[in-house]
Structure 1
Amino acid sequence: MTAPDFRLDPGLVRRRAGRAAAGYASVDTLAREISRRMGERLDYIRIEPRRILDLGCGPGADLPAFAQRYPGVPRIAIDSAPAMLAQARGDTGLLKRLLRFGKPAEPDFVCADATALPLARGSVSFAWSNLMLQWLHDPLPALKEIHRVLEVGGMLMFSTLGPDTLKELRAALPPSDAEHLHRFIDMHDLGDALVGAGFSDPVMDMEMLTVTYTSLDDLLRDLRASGSANAATTRPRGLVGKGHWQKLRANYEQLRRDGRLPATVEVVYGHAWKAAPKVAEDGRAIVRFERKPG
């Protein structure tokens, strides 16, 4: 998990996501590409869900793909930022509702925290989460909640960011006591958390992507516009000195190749299943007897 001295401010994460909502579609290229790659992985998994949960749905860009892949299956879209849900929901005026007549049912949009889902136990067949887990200080409570709302045999598929994300920016930062960058959870720790939450047969993999920018300002602008700026409780408060910025820029400039500055993104993918319980909630062992054929 994250280091014990590192904590995120969930209220700040929510507020920044809300401020980014209106323009998020202009800076979500990476999220769309990761979603596409998740979809390629899903192509190899045979599931027939009865109800789909998109957890951390943001502006709802992944929802149409579920309607196409699983026609007629109810969808639930949950996000903790009301402004993101407003973008996902779109215009709900009378004219638009009439134009949707006869088309697939709209998803149910719910504003909720991932650690306290307002869903019944075993009410979801398939949970999907694209780039949400990295905004939780500790993913274990959220994973336990996802496990609770999944039916037996249900599957979770997710993506998140690993610790080498923005490694160039991290290395270029001058030494400081403050936490200037978000820390990301290691893939192996996430696998342990899945098992700790009760999931079975977790499958994890990772890949490195490189995004390039013409300037450091463009990179920082993208981080702010997507609501992805540092939300650590130990982040710097107030203005950072001019000398700090000069050192940061000079250090990062040393990485320029072919006129571009690189920014590494470590993408972690995973999926796991909810198996039938071996122990009841009161601690009693569950023993299943099957009749022999004949």
Structure 2
Amino acid sequence: MTDALRSAEDGQDGLPDKRQVAASFSRAAASYDAVAELQRTVGQQLLSALPADYQAQQWLDLGCGTGYFSRELAQRFPAAQGVALDIAEGMLRHARPLGGAQLFVAGDAEQLPLRSGSQQLIFSSLALQWCGDFSSVLREARRVLQPGGMLAFSSLCVGTLQELRDSWQAVDGFVHVNRFRRFSDYQHLCAASGLKVQGLQRRAEVLHFADLRELTRSLKDIGAHNLNPGRPDGLTGRARIRALVEAYEQFRQPEGLPATYQVVYGILRKDA
């Protein structure tokens, strides 16, 4: 299996915001699975989108996190050899003892430390939204896939956490919510990737919370609180928090306060 790995190429270190993403998710490794309802739902839907008869002898879980879907992939493809890769070392330390993959590798989706043509399936659920250059992600996926291989990914696009974004806008006008690329960007970049687009859709997934504190705690526990460059620094005053609570309460539904995630699901294939 080690022949799938290649030496890391010399090059520029990751951007500061990428290092911050890695550090944030590393800190969240121990708490992540307890609050990862959305991540499990989306990942299961992505798994179910794979053709029922599709077989992979080598797979990559790209942005594996705690390894939940590495273990799911190992069950689905019991004879295959798997690589679990993440930019967050803390996630890999958490995932490695739980198994699922044969290799656990620290790496960047925009510059994969894997040999060309080494994988039959790249599975990536709710990780690629943190990559600044999605065209590089697709280029690397095309390089690493074998002919006939498949990239199955889920990501987030504009409209995610719109309720929280609108509530903050009403309070102070600053951006306190992570930015994501537009769905039209995913469409354009996938079409230009050299991979065959077999499916690309956007679907809203809505979680409900008892109150704003429960929502913000959930975001912190999965490591996905505000990571925007230039985000407001310092503590948020009580008056602003009260104003935020009042603004968000305008969205309340019978089930609780909604948090909408605009999820992109993509299935791309490399020509044989």
Tell whether the structures are fold-level matches, with TM greater than 0.5: yes
1:158-190, CA deviations, whole angstroms, 9 ceiling, x for partnerless residues? 011121211111111136464311112222211
The offset of 1:146, in angstroms, is 1.2
Structure 2 contact 196–270 (Cα < 8 Å) conserved? yes
Q: CA 1:205–1:106 in structure 2 vs 1: closer, same or farther (change >3 Å)?
A: closer
Q: Which amino acid aligns with 2:252?
A: R
1:233 aligns with 2:240: no
Residue 197 of structure 1: SS of its match in structure 2?
coil
1:133-174, CA deviations, whole angstroms, 9 ceiling, x for partnerless residues? 111123121221111111111110001112121111111113
Residue 267 of structure 1: SS of its match in structure 2?
strand
1:113 aligns with 2:108: yes
Structure 2 contact 209–215 (Cα < 8 Å) conserved? yes
1:34 aligns with 2:30: no
2-structure distance, mates of 1:224, 1:55 = 22
**What is the identity percentage for the equivalent residue pairs of Structure 1 and Structure 2?**
36
What is aligned with 2:196?
A: 200
What is aligned with 1:14?
A: 22
Residue 9 of structure 1: SS of its match in structure 2?
helix
Following TM superposition, where does structure 1 have runs of at least 4 consecutive aligned residues deviating by more than 6 angstroms? none
Q: CA 1:120–1:259 in structure 2 vs 1: closer, same or farther (change >3 Å)?
A: closer
1:137 aligns with 2:137: no
1-structure distance, mates of 2:145, 2:101 = 21
1:260-280, CA deviations, whole angstroms, 9 ceiling, x for partnerless residues? 21111111101111125xxxx
Residue 229 of structure 1: SS of its match in structure 2?
coil
Q: How does 1:43-82 map to 2 (within 5 A)?
A: 44-82=51-89
Q: Which amino acid aligns with 1:120?
A: R
Structure 1 contact 8–231 (Cα < 8 Å) conserved? no
1:270 aligns with 2:248: no
Q: Which amino acid aligns with 2:32?
A: Y
1:218 to 199, 214, 217: 214
What is aligned with 1:102?
A: none
Structure of greater Rg: 1
- Any stretches of 5+ residues in structure 1 without a counterpart? 1-6, 93-104, 277-294
The offset of 1:220, in angstroms, is 0.3
Q: Which amino acid aligns with 1:204?
A: L
TM-score between both structures, scaled by the size of structure 2: 0.88
2-structure distance, mates of 1:197, 1:160 = 16
With 186-195 and 13-22 compared, the bigger mean Cα shift is at 186-195
1:149 aligns with 2:144: yes
Structure 1 contact 8–136 (Cα < 8 Å) conserved? no
The offset of 1:210, in angstroms, is 1.4
Q: CA 1:65–1:169 in structure 2 vs 1: closer, same or farther (change >3 Å)?
A: same
Q: Which amino acid aligns with 1:48?
A: Q
Aligned length: 257
With 173-182 and 141-150 compared, the bigger mean Cα shift is at 173-182
2-structure distance, mates of 1:246, 1:196 = 46
1:160 to 142, 155, 164: 155
Residue 45 of structure 2: SS of its match in structure 1?
helix
1:209 to 181, 185, 205: 205
The structure with more helix, counted as a fraction of residues: 2
